[in-house]
Amino acid sequence: MTTPFSPQEQGEPIAAIATPLGIGALAVVRISGRGVFDIAHKVFRKKGNPSFHFAQSKGFRAHFGTVHDSDGLIDEVVALVFRFPNSFTKEDMVELSCHGGPVVVKHILKVLLDEGCRLAEPGEFTRRAFLNGRIDLLQAEAIGEMIHARSESAFRTAVTQMEGTLSTRLDTMREELLHSCALLELELDFSEEDVEFQSRSQLQAELHLLKEELSRLIDSYQHGRLLKEGVATVIAGRANAGKSTLLNTLLGEERSIVSHQPGTTRDYIEECFVHNKTMFRLVDTAGLREGEGEIEHEGIRRSYKKISEADLILYLIDISVDNYLDEVSTIDEFLGRYPAAHLLVVANKTDITQKCAERIEQLRAATGCDVCGTAAAKGDGVGLLKLLMSNMAEGLNKQQEASVLVTSLRHYEALRNAFDCINNAQALIVRNAETELVAFELRSALEFVGEITGKVVNEEILSLIFDRFCIGK
């Protein structure tokens, strides 16, 4: 997969706008691949040097000039030259920094397309960087995660991954596995002579260490996922309890429809907020009550699905109504049904009953959960609620202070599969099974680890990763 190729063997020339389309001071159009210097030459005139050609330029040079089409001047630009293989894609590249208006940018892109570039697919620049050995798959994914990071900690985790810390660990692990595999394969070659190139006890000890390392990475996923995606928090409860109101108060602005009619939040709405450095992903669900219409039924089905995926459930009760204790059975049901999630009872509308203290106490005794009183409409008690939420998140987070975190479900699954294969190999060794079977399990483990960094390439995985990028990345 690593290059090195000649300029003639580079991919076909591609072009894309690399910055968001909108009005800004600057925008960048980039081109990469075979012959891009000739293409850029056709549209660019260097100030004070009309005979300039990009082919004469050294790598990493900036040239000030203008871009033209057949009708004349389009814009003044700075052209950055990156000569093969010293560029992001490991191909010849030119980046044109122009003025940041959508019309200008599209015009420049059009002339480049007219002169022979093809419009890049989403993520195609990064895909080339990977295929040409500039970065591994983990680093390519980290670039995507860095761009999409919504909190400081998610950003930091992505940067660490981009630097290759996890890649280095996985490469070491792969080398160790490869070594054991090679020795077993060698034994197979000499099977008639009944030799052992590595004692089984030594192999077991090495596999044990590998499993420990894999376990550490697997365990870091819970923390990594929370950092990257935020604590999935569902606001559940009957219609009219005040769920949309609470969501809006937590977010600090109007986001979902608040209405006096039960059942108006028919679908779910997802928004994020950061408190004490922790990101919460809030989901407001359709009122959990028997809906009359089909839409409400669908909303209720989706609500239950969202609740089953939650890390934290805020169960809202209207404490001003006399039958507030009727909901204890539903809370019990939730606790049994979603044991992995933390549940916090929010006793809402404390502003319209005199009996809050005693009712909150009763709810606490009846459910065994933490209960927080709020008047969501006025914001009373919401500060305390946020504090309880961050305390819970800290509890979820504190298991791990690992320097390397696994943040992607794809990596997590591959690591678990590798772990299982090594486990199988160990069981086979204990049973004195055929060397061939042990080698098979270790080879499979090797493939799973290799899939993460892209040492083992699977076209389906590549599409999944790079299609998520925007065009120009």
Q: Is 299 a residue that touches ligand GDP (CB under 6 A)? A: no
- Candidates 89, 220, 233, 348: give the one binding ligand GDP (CB under 6 A): 348
| 321 binding ligand GDP? (CB under 6 A) | no
Sign of CA dihedral 151, 156, 161, 165: negative
Binding status of residue 276 toward ligand GDP by CB under 6 A: no
Q: Out of 146, 377, 462, 470, which residue is the one contacting ligand GDP (CB under 6 A)?
A: 377
Q: Which stretch binds ligand GDP (CB under 6 A): 236-244, 271-279, 289-297, 384-392?
A: 236-244
Would you state the structure tokens that stand for residue 200, as one six-digit string? Answer: 């089984």
- The answer to whether 231 contacts ligand GDP (rule: CB under 6 A) is no
Task: Out of 244, 397, 408, 424, point to the residue binding ligand GDP (CB under 6 A).
Answer: 244
Q: Where in 122-181 is the site for ligand GDP (CB under 6 A)?
A: none
Shortest Å distance, C-beta 335 to ligand GDP: 20
Beta strands 61-69 and 118-119 are: unpaired
Instruction: Kindly state the helix (H) or strand (E) to which residue 306 belongs, with its residue range.
Output: helix 294-308
Residue among 199, 260, 323, 398 that touches ligand GDP (CB under 6 A):
260
Closest residue to ligand GDP, judged by C-beta, is 242
Region from 86-94, 153-161, 268-276, 346-354 binding ligand GDP, contact rule CB under 6 A:
346-354
In angstroms, rounded to a whole number, what is the distance separating the alpha carbons of residues 39 and 233? 52
3-state secondary structure of 383: helix
Give the number of residues in contact with ligand GDP, rule: CB under 6 A: 20
DSSP, collapsed to helix, strand or coil, labels residue 318 as strand
Site track 41-80 with ligand GDP (rule: CB under 6 A), x = hit: ----------------------------------------
Give min distance, CB of 170 to ligand GDP, in A: 46
| Shortest reach from residue 382's CB to ligand GDP, in Å | 10
Phi, psi of 441 (to 5 degrees): -65, -40
Q: Which two tokens stand for residue 407?
A: 């943040």
* Contact status: 425 vs ligand GDP (CB under 6 A): no
CB-wise, 351 or 413, nearer to ligand GDP?
351
Q: What token pair was written down for 376?
A: 């969501």
Q: Who contacts 204 (Cβ-Cβ below 8 Å, separation ≥6)?
A: 426, 429
Measured from the CB atom, the residue of 66 and 264 that comes closer to ligand GDP is 264
The neighbour count for residue 6, using CB atoms within 10 Å, is: 9
Does the footprint of ligand GDP cover residue 349 (CB under 6 A)?
A: yes
Rule CB under 6 A: is residue 245 a binding residue for ligand GDP?
yes
Tokens, residue 354: 């005199």
Q: Is residue 36 a contact residue for ligand GDP (CB under 6 A)?
A: no
| Nearest CA-CA partner of 266 in 286, 284, 283, 282 | 286
Q: Which is nearer to ligand GDP, 303 or 453 (CB)?
A: 303
- Residue of 126, 167, 265, 435 interacting with ligand GDP (CB under 6 A): 265
Give the Cβ contact number of residue 108 at 10 Å.
24
Strand order in the sheet with 312-318: 269-275, 278-284, 231-237, 312-318, 342-348, 370-373
Show the beta-strand stretches assigned E in 336-423: 342-348, 370-373
Based on the shown chain and the rule CB under 6 A, indicate whether residue 376 belongs to the binding site for ligand GDP.
yes
Torsion over CA: 97, 102, 108, 110 (sign): positive
Contact residues for ligand GDP, defined by CB under 6 A: 237, 239-245, 258-260, 265, 287, 348-349, 351-352, 375-377
